[in-house]
Amino acid sequence: MALKIIFMGTPDFAIPALEAINRSNHEILEVYTQPPQKKNRGQKTNFSPVHVYCDQKNIEVKTPENLNTEEEFNHIKKLKPDLVIVVAYGKILPSKILNIENLNFINIHASLLPKWRGAAPIQRAIMNSDKETGVSIMKIIPKLDAGPVMMQSKISLNIGDNFQDISKSLARLGAQMIIKSLDLLENKNASFLPQNEKDATYARKILKVEAKINWNETAHEVVSKINALNPNPGTWFKLNNFRVKVLKAIVTSGKGHPGEIIDDKLTVACSSNAIQILELKKEGKKSMNAIDFLRGSNIKIGSKLN
């Protein structure tokens, strides 16, 4: 018997799973996503990627500012779903909704739980130089990402992998896994294993201050951060009071004072070794390679970046 599903998600990461469910024999009753945002003082309205997808597919969308109301509680009960699937929705589900009788809540989480619970699991895994990451299908409970796990699948993390690439890979993996999970749930063959609390780590939200490059870190740490925060918010340094985002860089040998340019290839010293910047973007400009950047900038060997 096909399951009746409410889907909750917001960014691009959620779309492969939503699309896979929409193509399955299961029924999507409604999709919840974050409310539209006004850009630049009330100009163009930005709808979430999930909202845009739903409009294209004529799927009913709901965008409440607050889930913790009687209206939302009664609305979900009235729909009588068998299951709620949450994928990077961006809102905490209140306990009252989680406690609706005979309703399961399942989350697609982009880490190998209990490692990297929280808001930024992909970024933190890359910044931490983890060798692997993956997707966990878990039951939602009131404690953050602490529910029992139904299914996990791994991928390797390699040097040079960035957030955008890994996010796409995990989104596709999550879409495959959720269909397998729905089959198990539909046939009442699903089983859930509790997480080991002793192994739990937390992927706190990325703060704006973290995006500024700290040249006192090692070259490996700087490059890991560049990869983790590409494309958004993007790591940056200041040059002549303008921000310059670094989109791609590699670790290389070299010595100098942290932040010092040590050759004519835009190699910058860190506390240990150096990074060679390959691609970057000035404020308000298009991305460019290091050669073009140097051609248009008055940067000399020995100058220091902030």
- Mean residue pLDDT across the chain: 95
Note whether residue 304 is domain-resident.
Answer: no
Residue 228 pLDDT > 90: yes
pLDDT of residue 40: 64
For residues 187 and 247, membership in a common domain is answered with no
Domain residues for the domain of 176 are: 4-203
Is residue 249 within 8 Å of residue 227, measured between CB atoms? no
Same domain, 92 and 172: yes
Please, are residues 97 and 76 in contact by the beta-carbon 8 Å criterion?
Answer: yes
The answer to whether residue 9 is domain-embedded is yes
Say yes or no: 277 and 169 in one domain.
Answer: no
What mean pLDDT is predicted for residues 148-172? 97
pLDDT over threshold 80, residue 41: no
pLDDT of residue 5: 98
One domain, residues 265 and 128 = no
Q: Tell whether 302 is covered by a domain.
A: no
In the predicted model, is pLDDT for residue 42 greater than 70? Answer: no
Does residue 306 fall inside a structural domain? no
CATH at residue 219: 3.10.25.10
Residue 305 in any domain: the answer is: no
**Among 153, 174, 203, where does a domain finish?**
203
Domain boundary among 163, 178, 203: 203
pLDDT category, 58, cuts 50, 70, 90?
very high
Q: How many CB atoms lie within 10 A of CB 87?
A: 26
Is position 183 within any domain?
Answer: yes
269 falls within a domain: yes
Q: What pLDDT, in 10s, does the model give residues 168-225?
A: 999 999 999 999 999 999 999 999 999 999 999 999 999 999 999 999 999 999 999 9
> For the chain, how many structural domains are there in total?
2
**How much is the average pLDDT of 103-128?**
97
pLDDT tens sequence across 67-100: 999 999 999 999 999 999 999 999 999 999 999 9
| Other beta carbons less than 10 A from residue 205's beta carbon | 10
Place of tokens 């193509």: 23
Query: Does residue 43 register a pLDDT over 90?
Result: no
- Are 154 and 256 within one domain? no
Percent of the chain with pLDDT over 70: 98
For residue 92, the tally of other CB atoms under 10 A from its CB is 12
Strands 242-252 and 235-239, bridge-based pairing: antiparallel
> Which CATH number belongs to the domain containing residue 106 in this structure?
3.40.50.170
Residues 236 and 158 in one domain: no
Asked, for residue 197, whether it belongs to a domain, the answer is: yes
270 pLDDT higher than 80: yes
Q: Is residue 92 domain-shared with residue 18, that is, in the same domain?
A: yes
Q: Mark whether 95 and 120 lie in a shared domain.
A: yes
* Same domain flag for 173 and 241: no
Q: Is the pLDDT of residue 267 over 70?
A: yes
Looking at the DSSP bridge assignments, the partners of residue 74 are none
On whether both 181 and 222 belong to a single domain, the answer is no
Q: Do 218 and 172 fall into the same domain?
A: no
Domain boundary among 178, 203, 228: 203
**164 & 212 share domain:** no
Query: Is the four-CA dihedral 256, 257, 262, 265 of positive or negative sign?
Result: positive
